Amino acid sequence: MESSTKSNSGTERISATIAELAKDELPGVDQVFALDLEGTARQAGALQRKRAIRSAGDLLSVVLVYVLRDWSLKMVAQWALLQGIGYLSDVAVLKRLRGCGRWLGMLIGLILQNRCRALQAIPRVRLRLMDASVITRPGAKGTDWRLHLGLTLWPLGIDGIEITDAQGGETLARLAPQANEIRVADRGYAFVSSLTPLLESDSFLVVRINWQNLPLETETGQRFDLIAWLKVLRIPSEQAVWLPTSEGRFALRLLACPLPEEVAERGRMRARKNNSKHRRKASANTLLAAGFILLVTNLPAGAWSIRQVLWLYRLRWQIELAIKRLKSLIQIDHLRSQDPRMVQTYLLGKLLVALLLDELIQQVAYHQPDWFHSWERPVSIWRLTQFLWESLYNWIIHPVSWKRLLLFLPASRRYLCDSPRARPQQLALARAFLEAHPLVCHPFSC
């Protein structure tokens, strides 16, 4: 009887929700983030004259359609016409998009400042994950740009962004340290100049290392023999070590956890493969270290056990999944231009969408906290992001009615018809031939 009552009440609630759909729509970007779009657009020089595009909101809509729909500039202009934004040429769209990079960067900076300010107000220590991803131009190989991200695990969301060229390496110093965070990173961040700013500011860190990329010392200043220590380990263990830097020596905990044999063997196979690419043989020390997870941390041993620190590092995989969602759903690594200014607009526009998705996910968490805390039926972040992405995508694109399309059809010729050219279109020639031939039936004579 109780389940029936719950079912009936649930059905009534869903029916009431459906009844409200006609007058419900997603809030604008300025409402979600409390941003002054008009003021920032004028300040950044993105909206100097209100010709054709009359507001910063309309300009942002054009940018988002360009970065999300991957249309040609003419198709973007066609969409702007159908939405009543303005009657622009493809060149006019190009000029406006090229001038939006600084504005988008300003908007993203303001969003991240507000987000980090709110996170700092949280009384408990938060977990901040760091990683980077490579972005390549169309048809190119290697690295053209590198996207550096910081991710707060709860509330889940991006809290730091930086875009660099191929020379911008991974470092913990790239995002400013904060007092109430534990920063977790992979082996790419384990070098002295990367760790020093956080150690100097008394921030907490958990970083995986290789067996030879940090000059660890004993308390007396002698070089710590990591390999000799690993040879006798059979269980997760830790060792007090010191890291010499330009700012002094800092005490760290060195943690080592032996891997299961099958996992260790896969690590040794990767080590052999990586070394063979450089035409060298993996050393015995490298193969030995491949059987362990090696971490350094400055978390106090009394508050954080070895097992808890290992769990903290295990959670680093969440930023890998976040980057995978950005690549699979938003396709943030798919560039479509060689023009550096257009690339800047394209990347920053997609990052703005990523921040908007984060905000929507946090609103879902506010309204349905049990989804995120449940052990039996926790929410799938992937499916939730995909669902919100489709809703956001449809909201940005704005479906066009057939009546409106026919209304603007005469003005659409500049976008849908080819420009005059020396070599006539083959289909146009075929139509002319059919119309001129007396024995061939064509649509206008039958």
Asked whether the predicted pLDDT for residue 444 surpasses 60, the reply is no
Note the pLDDT of residue 18.
41
Identify whether the C-beta of residue 53 lies closer than 8 Å to the C-beta of residue 62: yes
**Following CA atoms 60, 66, 68, 69 in sequence, which dihedral angle do they give, to the nearest 10 degrees?**
140
Q: What pLDDT, in 10s, does the model give residues 121-165?
A: 877 888 999 999 988 877 777 788 899 999 998 888 999 999 988
Asked whether the predicted pLDDT for residue 310 surpasses 90, the reply is yes
User: Quick one: the chain helix, strand, coil %, rounded to 5?
Assistant: 50, 15, 35
d(CA 297, CA 362): 30
CA nearest to 79, candidates 60, 67, 66: 66
**Half-sphere exposure of residue 260: CA atoms within 13 angstroms, side-chain side:** 2
Q: What pLDDT, in 10s, does the model give residues 6-55?
A: 445 555 555 454 444 434 455 566 666 778 889 999 999 998 777 778 88
| Mean pLDDT of the 169-176 span | 90
Identify whether the C-beta of residue 160 lies closer than 8 Å to the C-beta of residue 175: yes
Note the pLDDT of residue 258.
94
Question: Where are the domains positioned within the chain?
Answer: 187-315
DSSP helix/strand/coil, 365: helix
d(CA 63, CA 86): 14
Note the pLDDT of residue 144.
84
Note the pLDDT of residue 2.
46
DSSP 250-305: EEEEEEEEEPPHHHHHHHHHHHHHHHHHTT-PPPHHHHHHTTEEEEEE-S-TTTS-
d(CA 57, CA 424): 40
DSSP helix/strand/coil, 179: coil
DSSP helix/strand/coil, 408: coil
d(CA 374, CA 371): 6
Q: What pLDDT, in 10s, does the model give residues 195-246?
A: 999 999 888 999 999 999 999 999 999 999 999 999 999 999 999 999 999 9
Q: What pLDDT, in 10s, does the model give residues 311-363?
A: 999 999 999 999 999 999 888 888 888 888 999 999 999 999 999 999 889 88
Q: What pLDDT, in 10s, does the model give residues 396-442?
A: 888 888 888 898 898 888 899 888 877 877 887 777 777 776 665 55
d(CA 258, CA 250): 26
DSSP helix/strand/coil, 171: coil
Note the pLDDT of residue 252.
97
Question: What is the side-by-side order of every strand in the sheet holding 145-152?
Answer: 157-165, 145-152, 126-135, 181-185, 204-208, 292-297, 248-258, 237-245
d(CA 398, CA 408): 16
| Mean pLDDT of the 104-121 span | 89
Asked whether the predicted pLDDT for residue 253 surpasses 80, the reply is yes
* The one-letter amino acid at 134: V
Q: How confident is the model at residue 380 (pLDDT cuts 50, 70, 90)?
A: very high
d(CA 158, CA 204): 19
Identify whether the C-beta of residue 128 lies closer than 8 Å to the C-beta of residue 203: no
CA distances from 383 to 325, 362, 363, 397, 407 (A): 10, 15, 16, 21, 38
d(CA 59, CA 343): 17
DSSP helix/strand/coil, 391: helix
